[in-house]
Amino acid sequence: MGRLPVDEVARLSVRVPRGRQGIWQTIRALAGGGGGAFTLPEVMARSAERSKETVRTYLRCLEAGGIVVREGLAVDGGAMRYRLVADPGPEAPRLRRDGSPAALCLGTEQMWRVLRMASPGLDARELSVTASTEEHPVALGAAAAYLRALHHAGYLAVVEAGRPGHKPGTGKRTVYRLTRCTGPLAPQIQRIRAVWDPNLSCHMGEGVVEGGHD
């Protein structure tokens, strides 16, 4: 693995998000793309994450997933040293404690990939079907919520407004088209009900508006 581009390392010192994305960006910068070792205190010092337990937990997930390995204690007998041995890219690996991929995050990535390719536009049911795989199906409700959140955050335009039907199953779902593609990383709906864009390292929109016929 080669070293990180200079502009990416510089961006880390300007604005690093908290949480796993910020931890991951810091690890990649400290490891130089995979060649160097790092410690938990070094990650804490460089990232915006202030919770030591959050960093420790994520390191355990990365270790279980085979992305980092332990090298033993530092020369001075201090903190444990880790080495990055697998770099899947700029987006933070979304792993469970056992190192397995988080299915919900995989679904979001699949939906974003479909939206980037669907130039004519699609509705929630079409997104659900197209983004689903045998291993990671995307529920209709999840697709509708993601479309609604992205539209509210300014990523999607309404091609055709939805309308309720007189009988169940006779209505029309809203058709959306992607109008703002910021990059390959999937914008995430966070717990605060806002959209986090890892491509821009900022929140988009003011939160999710519930309701609507999706």
- Of the pLDDT bands very low, low, confident and very high (cuts 50, 70, 90), residue 186 is confident
For residue 34, what pLDDT is reported? 52
For residue 145, what pLDDT is reported? 92
Is 190 within the bounds of a domain?
yes
Is 212 within the bounds of a domain?
no
Q: pLDDT tens-digit profile of 145-157?
A: 999 999 999 999 9
The domain total for the chain is 2
* 125 shares a domain with 41: no
For residue 77, what pLDDT is reported? 62
For residue 10, what pLDDT is reported? 41
The residue assigned the tokens 């197209």 is 130
More confident residue, 168 or 208: 168
| Residues near 116 by beta carbon (within 8 Å), at least 6 away in sequence | 178, 181, 184
Decide if 213 contacts 160 (C-beta within 8 A).
Answer: no
* 186 shares a domain with 141: yes
Helix, strand, or coil (residue 36): coil
| Percentage with pLDDT > 90 across the chain | 40
* 109 shares a domain with 74: no
The residue assigned the tokens 């040293």 is 81
- Of the pLDDT bands very low, low, confident and very high (cuts 50, 70, 90), residue 13 is very low
| pLDDT for 1 beyond 60 | no
Q: pLDDT tens-digit profile of 59-108?
A: 999 999 999 999 887 666 678 999 999 988 888 888 888 988 876 678 88
* 113 shares a domain with 79: no
Name the strand (E) or helix (H) holding 150: helix 140-152
Indicate the pTM of the whole model: 0.56
Is 117 within the bounds of a domain?
yes
Domain span holding position 199:
103-204
* 159 shares a domain with 114: yes
Is 160 within the bounds of a domain?
yes
Lookup: tokens for 26: 């810091």
For residue 169, what pLDDT is reported? 65
* 117 shares a domain with 80: no
* 180 shares a domain with 107: yes
* 151 shares a domain with 71: no
Treating both helix axes as pointing N-terminal to C-terminal, what angle do 52-64 and 19-31 enclose, rounded to 10 degrees? 70
* 107 shares a domain with 69: no
* 148 shares a domain with 79: no
**Range 2-15 average pLDDT:** 44
Treating both helix axes as pointing N-terminal to C-terminal, what angle do 103-117 and 124-131 enclose, rounded to 10 degrees? 110
CATH number at residue 80: 1.10.10
Is 91 within the bounds of a domain?
no
Q: Among 144, 155, 163, which residue's Cα sits nearest to residue 214?
A: 144
| pLDDT for 127 beyond 70 | yes
Is 95 within the bounds of a domain?
no
Residues 162-193 as b or e (16 or more Cβ within 10 Å = b): beeeeeeeeeebbbbebeeeeeebbbbbeeee
Is 148 within the bounds of a domain?
yes
- Of the pLDDT bands very low, low, confident and very high (cuts 50, 70, 90), residue 188 is confident
Is 36 within the bounds of a domain?
yes
Q: pLDDT tens-digit profile of 18-55?
A: 688 889 999 999 988 556 789 999 999 988 888 899 99
Mean pLDDT score of the chain, rounded to an integer?
Answer: 81
* 190 shares a domain with 108: yes
* 47 shares a domain with 130: no
